Amino acid sequence: MLAVTVVASAWALAGCSTTSASDEHSKSSVAEPELEAFRLQQGQLSTSMKIPGELVAFQQVDLYAKVSSFVRKLYVDVGTEVSAGQLLATMEAPELNAQLSGAQSRLKSQEALYLASKATYDRLLETSKTPGTVSQNDLDQAYAKQRSDLAQLDAARAAQKEVTDTRGYLEIRAPFSGIISGRNVSAGAYVGPAGKGSDMPIFTLQEQKKLRLVISVPEAYTSYLRDKSEVTFTVRSVANRTFTATVSRLAGALDSRLRAQRTEMDVLNPGKELLPGMVAEVSIPLNSTSQAFVVPSSAVLNATKGTFVIKVIDGKAVWIPITAGRSDADHTEIFGNVALNDILVKTASEEVRDSSIVKRFKVK
């Protein structure tokens, strides 16, 4: 019985030794995973930035009455499409008619005085050709009277023209073609440069067949937009439609509050699908003209100590601090102590320790 127990114990010990040796052998036979790497190359990254913009009328003006008067008749209303020079409204001011009559009477009186003084001077001048008939003093006085009456005649003409021009302000005409977008008075209302009713314009006129797209471009992105650059934009009210616009005006300076440059683009709108006041989402292409190092986004390691790429140097993995630039869905620009054809790990992670030995890697 004792012999059987000893033999069993011996077999158990032998079995344990065999199992431990097998485990150690299997562990040593497991190969380290192969790292995928690539050679660093230069390239261009084409991305875009979306910023809000506003559509405004290409031209807009508030039309007021220049003289104190009453609205006689309105010929247009909100939504009316008008052409340049079209009559929009007429006013009446009875006192201007009286002023015009007085100015015309003074003009006729001055014309009569001037004609009389001119005739007198002409007769004296003709008579003076006979020696001793007219003194030089009489002739000079007649000439001075003629010049004085002529000056008074010119003043009367100017006064009459002033009243006539003022009466012309009783008609309001469209300065350019567009649409009446606002009307604030009715027939019979008192309007003018002062007094009740003058705070609001009679009409608001907008040009809508051509609009301005206004955006504020942040300082960091001003270099990507130039004169004649094209951008695309969308508006919520016109679904599934992308519009294009061309940069026409750059402010050339940054707004002191926003630190952004005002940029305007002309938008043709013949069908009037777009309206002034709409908010647009503008897509600005960020196409760099210079070459930069572009890597897969997975090669950039964002660690607690900073941003790195992992470079393979003499069989070791070395963390290289870098600054990440622009990026899209798959690629990122990097700037730092890297050079062309450096071997970088494609999928960077903190499991690849800094200065650790890389036994197996494959460059693609």
In the chain the domains, ranked by start, together with CATH numbers, are 35-46+291-363 (2.40.420.20), 51-57+207-287 (2.40.30.170), 65-91+170-201 (2.40.50.100), 94-169 (1.10.287)
What pLDDT, on the 0 to 100 scale, is given for residue 307?
Answer: 93
pLDDT tens digits, one per residue of 113-129: 999 999 998 988 888 88
Residue type, 190: Y
Contact call for residues 117 and 145 (beta carbons, < 8 A)? yes
pLDDT above 90 for 75: yes
Q: What is the CA radius of gyration of the chain?
A: 45
Q: d(Cα 340, Cα 323) in Å, to the nearest integer?
A: 16
DSSP notation for 97-149: HHHHHHHHHHHHHHHHHHHHHHHHHHHHHHHTTSTTSS-HHHHHHHHHHHHHH
Residue type, 139: L
Q: d(Cα 250, Cα 293) in Å, to the nearest integer?
A: 31
What pLDDT, on the 0 to 100 scale, is given for residue 333?
Answer: 84
Q: What would the mean pLDDT of 86-103 be, rounded to a whole number?
A: 86
Q: Which residues pair with 234 in a beta bridge?
A: 281
What pLDDT, on the 0 to 100 scale, is given for residue 174?
Answer: 95
Tell me which residue of 181, 206, 270 sits closest to 56, measured CA to CA. Answer: 206
What pLDDT, on the 0 to 100 scale, is given for residue 197?
Answer: 53
Contact call for residues 40 and 340 (beta carbons, < 8 A)? yes
What pLDDT, on the 0 to 100 scale, is given for residue 7?
Answer: 36
pLDDT above 50 for 29: no
Q: Which residue has the tokens 């890389």?
A: 358
pTM metric for this prediction: 0.61
pLDDT tens digits, one per residue of 297-331: 999 999 888 999 999 998 899 999 998 877 777 88
Confidence band for 207, pLDDT divided at 50, 70 and 90: very high
What pLDDT, on the 0 to 100 scale, is given for residue 285?
Answer: 83
- Largest separation between any pair of C-alpha atoms in the chain: 185
The two tokens of residue 355 are 């200065």
Question: What percent of the chain lies above the pLDDT cut of 70?
Answer: 88
Tell me which residue of 311, 112, 76 sits closest to 187, measured CA to CA. Answer: 76
Q: How many other CB atoms are there within 10 angstroms of residue 36's CB atom?
A: 14
The two tokens of residue 191 are 């309007």
Mean pLDDT over the full length of the chain: 84
- Least confident span in 34-43, 77-86, 172-181, 191-200: 191-200
pLDDT above 70 for 31: no
Q: What would the mean pLDDT of 212-222 be, rounded to a whole number?
A: 89
pLDDT above 50 for 12: no
Confidence band for 86, pLDDT divided at 50, 70 and 90: very high
pLDDT tens digits, one per residue of 258-278: 889 999 999 999 888 999 999
Confidence band for 173, pLDDT divided at 50, 70 and 90: very high
pLDDT above 50 for 227: yes
Residue type, 23: D
Contact call for residues 292 and 335 (beta carbons, < 8 A)? yes
